[in-house]
Chains A and B, each alone.
Chain A
């Protein structure tokens, strides 16, 4: 697994766990989109070489990113020579890839590769405003990670294992503010979590850690509140990747990823 965090120059608090970090957003390429393709390509190469599984033995890969037609993954991985399923789940792409990958391993595959990437600059360019535009970001806005992650799911090995998948339903509580994604996503997260508890008969304290993707600081608090109102206390062992990945005060990222 590999990621890099850019932009804020200060590399985030988790940077020591990543295989590689970069300090500029182009990484020698001419455009951000090409840089993102290179990032996911290098990430996949890293995970393959670290796993010791030759790429010829990987039956298929599930990957996606935020850009139109998932161009980062499709251009970045075109030379991998592995059957490819493009996945788009926006913030949930990686978990979606892992879920589908696990089902593939349960069914036909021995080794499945799952990967995703995002790039702050290419995402802002596609979804928001040019970076040089002199506008103000509200405190609820979040900061897209520049980075990539990949994993190989295998029939063999000593774990960790994927034992359960609870796919989430879409829950739209009508939040229209594009700068408050945490609030828009939190109800769906809480709904999925509670569905998972009901399905498995477990309670929150069964888990060492409950981790959500990118609700950010505000979304995290909302998720805790919603779970509490439904009778589940997740406060002690729940955290959010968007909260963990940046140092909010030092990096001026507002509400996290």
Chain B
């Protein structure tokens, strides 16, 4: 067998040769860590409601706290260890977003506060923001076209 016959045969051969990520283990860890983060969020939400905040304010408080905790753990060099273990479990919740902004900010601090921290802070989160905001504008326009009667700003 000559693996170099074509690019396709080589790609197939390399795929066979390269060990795959341990998907089951990764999924399991992502599932329970992600679930745990969401549970913590729910607990905070419930406590806030108990103390008399309305649902929307409570949700904002949850976001602020989870972002704060994730940013703090990133600063302590702990979040990357959680991320290595949990993968998407800690990446998908708002904790991952916080980490993706704080980590380049830390990394590029050595290049100065303006061009370093300021300029490079969104290198990882930038695409999420650009496409997230673009998508929301698009959805907003569609909503406006089809719901001319009942526009309420929520």
Q: Which residues of A contact B (CB under 8 A)?
A: 30-33, 125, 129-140, 173-175, 180, 183, 187, 218, 221-222, 225-226, 229-230
Contacts and interface: CB of A to CB of B under 8 A. Distances in A.
Nearest to A136: B87
A132 B18 contact: no
A173 B12 CA distance: 11
- Tell me if A's interface is mostly helix, strand, loop or mixed: loop
B18 A183 contact: yes
A174 B11 contact: yes
Nearest to B95: A134
Given A136-B21, A136-B83, A226-B4, A131 B99 contact: no
Interface of B: 1-4, 7, 10-11, 13-14, 17-21, 26, 74-75, 77, 79-84, 86-87, 90-91, 96, 99-100, 102-104, 106-108, 110, 124
A87 B38 CA distance: 51
Given A31-B110, A130-B106, A134-B80, 4 more contacts: A132-B77, A134-B82, A135-B84, A222-B14
A132 B14 CA distance: 30
A132 B79 contact: yes
A133 B3 contact: no
A31 B112 CA distance: 11
B80 A133 contact: yes
Given A180-B18, A229-B1, A136 B84 contact: yes
A180 B4 CA distance: 17
B17 A134 contact: no
Given A125-B107, A218-B18, A229-B4, A132 B74 contact: yes
A133 to B, nearest CB: 4
Q: Among the interface residues B10, B81, B84, which one has the most CB atoms of the partner chain A within 10 A?
A: B10
26 contacts: A125-B107, A129-B103, A130-B124, A131-B107, A132-B77, A133-B80, A133-B103, A134-B80, A134-B81, A134-B84, A134-B99, A134-B103, A136-B26, A136-B84, A140-B18, A173-B4, A175-B10, A175-B11, A175-B14, A183-B14, A187-B4, A221-B17, A222-B17, A225-B13, A225-B17, A230-B2
A132 B17 contact: no
Contacts of B107: 125, 130-132
B14 A180 contact: yes
Nearest to B84: A136
Given A132-B79, A134-B96, A180-B18, A30 B110 contact: yes
Contacts of B84: 134-137
B4 A218 contact: no
A172 to B, nearest CB: 9
Given A31-B110, A222-B14, A229-B4, A138 B21 contact: yes
A252 to B, nearest CB: 9
Contacts of A180: 14, 18
Q: Among the interface residues A32, A130, A140, A229, which one has the most CB atoms of the partner chain B within 10 A?
A: A130
Nearest to A34: B110
Contacts of B80: 131-135
Contacts of B100: 133
Nearest to A252: B84
B120 to A, nearest CB: 9
A175 B85 CA distance: 27
Contacts of B99: 132-134
Contacts of B74: 132, 134
